[in-house]
Amino acid sequence: MEKQALPASSCSLVLLEETKKRPPLLSNGGSTSYPSASTNGSLAPLAAAGSGTGLLGSTCTGQEKTGGVGTGPGYPERETWTRQMDFIMSCVGFAVGLGNVWRFPYLCYKNGGGVFFIPYLLIVFVGGIPIFFLEIALGQFMKAGSINVWNIAPLFKGLGYASMVIVFFCNTYYIMVLAWGFYYLIKSFSSTLPWSTCENEWNTPSCIEIFHHQDCKNASLANVTIGNSNMTCAELGDARSPIIEFWENKVLNISSGLDEPGHINWELMLCLIVVWILVYFCVWKGVKSTGKIVYFTATFPYVVLIILLVRGITLPGAYNGIMYYIKPDWSKLQEAQVWIDAGTQIFFSYAIGLGALTALGSYNRFNNDCYKDAFVLALINSGTSFFAGFVVFSILGFMAAEQGVDISQVAESGPGLAFIAYPKAVSLMPVAPLWAALFFFMLLLLGLDSQFVGVEGFVTGILDLCPGKYYHRYRREIAVAICCLLCFIIELSMVTQGGMYVFQLFDYYSASGMTLLWQAFWECIVVAWVYGADRFMDDVARMIGYRPVPWMKWCWSFITPCVCMGIFLFHLVNYKPLTYNTVYVYPWWGEVIGWCLALSSMLCIPVSVLYKIFRAKGSFRQRWAHLTTPVWGAHHLEYMAPDIRSLSSLSPGTDDNKVIIFESVM
């Protein structure tokens, strides 16, 4: 890169003169040792810069002025968490969500019970924790959201745009689960649960409350009427339970396919509006308010889980259900699908690749020990998944015992567990409305904090793109309102009769395993091979006061990218067209829409790289050098300034001075 590529601006001269008069405060007092992680992380030069009197004052104009946080008049200093526990609870609320309760237990039972923990824990340490730590540390080091954090290697800023697209899609469809949960919660406040009987207007003649499967085991009884249902064993195969009819005929009022959207379900739309209002008022004031709300939304679900577990283990059949959950089947380790399921679950449950963890980390103090936080949060996340399995399978064991069927016939995953299997089990308990209300309230809280932290991550990325001259007192409130309104408009298609088909398109393609794995792969490549793994390890050491174990560097450089790409290729090779209930096959144009949703994020990375390279000037090597040079923020000045004594021999007017100051600060 040619020297003229570094502009000789007035900002460089001002910075040099100010540096000579008042040397920047190095975090280690001028020595080369790393700063202690126990310091409060306050940045004196940063605070001064915000007032226009510090090392990055108001004399810096143009593009240079937008490089930092609080670097001129009108630039508010970046918020920080009131206390560090706010950050921990926000990460717990975001990462610990519905997938821990309704997906992990099912995968565990399906993939060999206790044996599933072997591939699960292995991939936690080679993929989950390294990327989880990488995203938090990047946000904390760069003090920026999911887009500007990639100023660490500007050529790959498309990673930020990709994560914004993914988290936007997640915010759009994920909240539908909360709307359904809120609808069930309202319906739970009745003496008789509406999904427990066949005496409602939405039920069909084939509805039956008790199936009596055990009475039909003898093939000679095919034409014998069973119980009070007036159905023969032959007809029993086509019978439907009241909970399925409540879900499909009342809640969804589902149409015959994607090409028949039908009319809007007004009750469901009102539930969606209420949930969005809750999300808005959780996010609109920033991390100061969000950090307080998550203390309730992240902890109360654990209280409910404990209550449900105590109730579940006292029910008949609970022991069989729990043993079904943890009994090891060692032969499963030979199946590739088991390892793929373990890897995919980790990337889902750890919320990797969405950019929200980066946004949460950006509000940390610079000296926060994010390395220790990553391990604590990983332990909480995986521990919650394991604990939730006991709750779910104790109830499913009771349900199987009551119906006289094998547990495999009642075990469900995803919405099938939350809105069919578990409500059915609850309806068989004494005081059913109480347990139903508790379960759906827990479900609402589990999803609510994941939702509003996802919105926070998206809004943070958008606001970081706005230069200070566009600062408005209520810009956060306006940005959150626009985000919520835009998502709501898209979601109107999901509260129609064909809404479930639209929901599955978003769920299967927009934030699928492939998109998250693609994102995680490039994050590791850029940090380890473009910016430099050793270089980033040094940056982490400047923040926390010590170097993480070399294992992290090896994972970022080799192991984790290979794991991500291996699972990605497996998904691609074994791709199956989307279906609903294994019966309805989506039309070709529905699959095209789905792939457009997936590629809209995945193509952000290569397209932005090619665009930046073709727009740059000079040889390829010069373009690469220029586009991969980090753009530092103002807060880096205290921690990354060069040794001032080495500048004392330079005269104020030389070009060398300008280049050194510009590179060290900007």
Instruction: Give the residue ranges of the annotated binding site.
Output: 93, 95-96, 100, 349, 381, 446, 449-450
534 vs 134: CA distance, rounded Å: 13
* CB-based contacts of 204, cutoff 8 Å, min separation 6: 240, 245, 249
**Helix 158-188 with 475-491: angle, nearest 10 deg:** 70
Torsion of CA 410, 224, 229, 405, to 10 degrees: -10
Instruction: Judge whether 445 and 297 are in contact, CB under 8 Å.
Output: yes
Phi/psi for 227 (5° steps) reads: 55, -145
Query: What are the CA-CA distances from residue 16 to residues 280, 366, 652 (Å)?
Result: 45, 25, 7
Question: What residues are designated binding site for Na(+)?
Answer: 93, 95-96, 100, 349, 381, 446, 449-450
> Going by C-beta distance under 8 Å and a sequence separation of 6 or more, which residues neighbour residue 284?
476, 477, 480, 481
Tell me the C-alpha to C-alpha distance, in Å, between residue 602 and each of 247, 357, 519, 599: 34, 19, 7, 5
Token pair in block for residue 88:
């921990």
User: Two tokens at 136?
Assistant: 């938090």
Let me know how many helices (H) and strands (E) the chain has, helices first. Answer: 31, 4
Distances (CA, A) of 130 to 94, 146, 640: 18, 18, 24
The SS3 of residue 232 is strand
Two tokens, residue 225: 């009427």
292 burial via Cβ count (<10 Å: 0-12, 13-18, 19+) = middle
Task: Kindly give the residue spans of alpha helices, DSSP state H, lying in 354-431.
Answer: 356-362, 370-403, 415-416, 422-427
Under DSSP, is residue 666 helix (H, G, I), strand (E, B) or coil? Answer: coil
Tokens linked to 179? 């709307």
- What distance in Å separates the CA atoms of residue 628 and residue 612, rounded to the nearest whole number? 11
Instruction: Answer for the pair 193, 433: CB distance below 8 angstroms, yes or no.
Output: yes
Element (H, E) at 272: helix 266-283
Q: Which long-range contacts (CB under 8 A, 24 or more apart) does 560-565 make?
A: 560/126, 560/127, 560/130, 560/131, 560/520, 560/524, 561/521, 561/524, 561/525, 561/528, 563/123, 563/126, 563/127, 563/343, 564/127, 564/517, 564/518, 564/520, 564/521, 564/524, 565/517, 565/521
Q: Rounded to whole angstroms, how far apart are CA atoms 193 and 181?
A: 14
Distance, first Cα to last Cα, the chain: 16
Question: Is 181:443 a contact under the CB 8 Å cutoff?
Answer: yes
Closest CA to 123 of 332, 286, 343: 343
Mutual orientation of helices 513-525 and 588-602 as an angle, nearest 10°? 20
Residues 567 and 338 sit within 8 Å (Cβ to Cβ): no
Distance (Å, whole) CA 107 – CA 126: 20
